[in-house]
Amino acid sequence: MFARLLVINAALTLAVGQTPPAKPDPNRVPIDFTRQVRPILSQHCFACHGPDREARKAELCFVTIEDATKMREDGAAIVPGNRLSSRLWHRINDDESPMPPAEAHNALTKEQVETLGRWLDEGASYAPHWAYVAPIAVAAPRVRETGWPRGDIDRHVLARLEAEGLAHAADADPVTLMRRLTLDLSGLPPSAVQVDRFVTAYEAEPQAAYSALLDRLLASHHYGERMATPWLDLVRYADTVGYHGDQEHNVWPYREWVIDAFNDNMPFDRFTIEQLAGDLLPEPTQDQLVATGYNRLLQTTHEGGLQLAEYRAIYLADRVRNASAVWMGATLGCAQCHDHKYDPYSAKDFYAFGAFFADIDDEEHLRNPYGGLNSSPTKRVPEMRVVTDEVRRRRDAEQRVRAAAETELAAVMQALPAQQMAWEAAMRKKIDAGTVRQIVWVDDALDTGGEVTGSWSFVGDGPRPHSGKKTRVQRSKGLIQHYTKNTKRRIKVAAGDVFYAWVHLGKKSSPEAVMLQFFTNGDWIH
């Protein structure tokens, strides 16, 4: 009975002017499901026969090959390799009750009908969404014009051109070639001087000149700026918060991080991890924390009367929509309100994905929309202080100088005890030998002929100095200075003269530093 129905259907088809499919042409490019068939099914069929179970008609689903080829009472909707045996083919060609229904005002064109027919004859192959298909290496096709291609990409392009009966464009002249390459890789036009230099080099050695230009452009800082531009558009980068007040948003270090990532040729997996979760890495660097500024690239309200629950939901939805579109190439945002009607996503998937961003700290910002560093209304919390590359280079240079000085000081300090012992021994010899010396004054009762400043308290007991009659004991919690000014007594310092001070430091109360000062030649010597 089923076979008889097929024969009748086929006869009806032929009667209204349809002709049997021609024998497949082995030289014709096969129908591509992703590029040619899926868009037709999505636009014309999925509303009634798609992923949405509640809207599905006749329990027929075209989302997977298993559902589409399932045997039904009136036959299978799709019979791979045979359009005449496929109910789909007959329904889209039914004049009285076509699919899609006439009342849907969504009729297929003749070209779309023939595309579906060819697809059925070629085996009705299905393919998952392109975003979930891992790239595979494909051998370069053979081409008739073998002298034009310079690489595999040229061969792929030329093969398609030859299949469509088209000829390739002529090679660009050097000026046009340089302008195209410079604009493409730097986003800026070349200067007249650069053009002249390239044309001269190109006329002498085309391939070498082109390679040198390519290397120069890739090494330019402008390359990262050019590549960052579409990425920053994708992640909705902005310097202001976007809502009615449109306050400033201090996120420019993230922009610089993206530019540097392209210039440094950062691997895409690291590029992804550091933006989505750089702060969760072990001991994250400043750059990795800056990279997570991606999670702040959304509109935020700074209105005093905001509703916390409302904006938590708004922020979650914005992040899910953006991350799924940018990294997954998916329209997960449709599932914010309902199960996706055309792709295999549910509302549960949408909000489960939102949990990925649940630990982002928006609470302080939402509770205190005008807060931030220095409580400025142009800042939004939480924020972090960032050291720029220039400051970082200066800091690193200073740290190297400090490390060298500390190494030098350590060597001096290591040698100091022995030098101290030798110096003390030499001084004792001079003192014991009674060498002539002039004692100008010491910190005792000796009159200096000047005005004493500070508290000079002398005691007679305790350790004795080598000269002088009394000892001053100083106690203080902070810095204390004792000195004389307008001193009338003067001395001349000759070569070989030695100054020394005798200081006894208590074991439990030693000061951090002791300084001896002389005023000479109009300046203080410490």
In the prediction, which pLDDT does 420 show? 87
In the prediction, which pLDDT does 302 show? 77
In the prediction, which pLDDT does 243 show? 81
Residue 100, preceding bond cis, omega within 30 degrees? yes
3-state helix, strand, coil in the chain (%, to 5): 45, 5, 50
Residue pair 120/79 in contact (Cβ under 8 Å)? The answer is: yes
In the prediction, which pLDDT does 357 show? 92
Crossing angle, helix 174-186 and helix 206-219, to 10 degrees? 20
Q: Is 11 helix (H, G, I), strand (E, B) or coil?
A: helix
In the prediction, which pLDDT does 398 show? 95
Phi (first) and psi of residue 441, to 5 degrees: -165, 160
How do beta strands 451-453 and 483-485 pair? Answer: antiparallel
In the prediction, which pLDDT does 159 show? 95
**What region, left, alpha or beta, does residue 250 occupy, with left being phi > 0 and alpha being psi -120 to 50 degrees?**
beta
Q: What is the pLDDT along the chain (526 residues), one digit of tens a residue?
A: 333 333 333 333 333 334 455 555 666 789 999 889 999 998 999 889 988 788 889 889 998 899 999 998 889 999 999 999 999 999 999 988 899 998 888 899 999 999 999 999 999 999 887 767 888 888 999 999 999 998 999 999 999 999 999 999 998 999 999 999 999 999 999 999 999 999 999 999 999 999 999 999 999 999 999 999 999 999 999 988 888 778 777 889 999 999 999 999 999 999 999 999 999 999 999 999 999 999 989 988 877 777 888 989 999 999 999 999 999 888 899 999 988 876 778 899 999 999 999 888 887 777 665 544 344 544 566 778 888 888 889 999 999 999 999 999 999 999 988 998 998 888 788 777 766 555 555 555 556 677 777 666 666 666 655 555 666 666 677 777 777 777 776 777 777 777 767 777 767 767 778 888 877 777 877 6
Alpha carbon 8 to its chain's center: 63
Residue pair 337/412 in contact (Cβ under 8 Å)? The answer is: no
Residue 343 is which amino acid? Answer: D
Buried b (16+ CB within 10 A) or exposed e, 17-35: ebeeeeeeeeeeeebebee
Between CA 149 and CA 151 the distance in angstroms is 6
Model confidence, pTM:
0.61
Q: Compute the radius of gyration of the chain from its Cα atoms.
A: 43
In the prediction, which pLDDT does 291 show? 96
Crossing angle, helix 206-219 and helix 192-204, to 10 degrees? 140
Identify the residue whose tokens are 């690291």: 270
Residue 382, preceding bond cis, omega within 30 degrees? yes
In the prediction, which pLDDT does 9 show? 38
**What region, left, alpha or beta, does residue 46 occupy, with left being phi > 0 and alpha being psi -120 to 50 degrees?**
alpha
Buried b (16+ CB within 10 A) or exposed e, 207-221: eebbeebeeebeebe
Residue pair 251/237 in contact (Cβ under 8 Å)? The answer is: yes
Crossing angle, helix 252-263 and helix 221-234, to 10 degrees? 120
Identify the residue whose tokens are 């939480």: 382
Between CA 358 and CA 501 the distance in angstroms is 68
Crossing angle, helix 192-204 and helix 174-186, to 10 degrees? 120
End-to-end CA distance of the chain: 117
Residue 254 is which amino acid? Answer: Y
In the prediction, which pLDDT does 448 show? 66
In the prediction, which pLDDT does 369 show? 56
The per-type count for the chain, helices as H runs and strands as E runs, is 18, 6
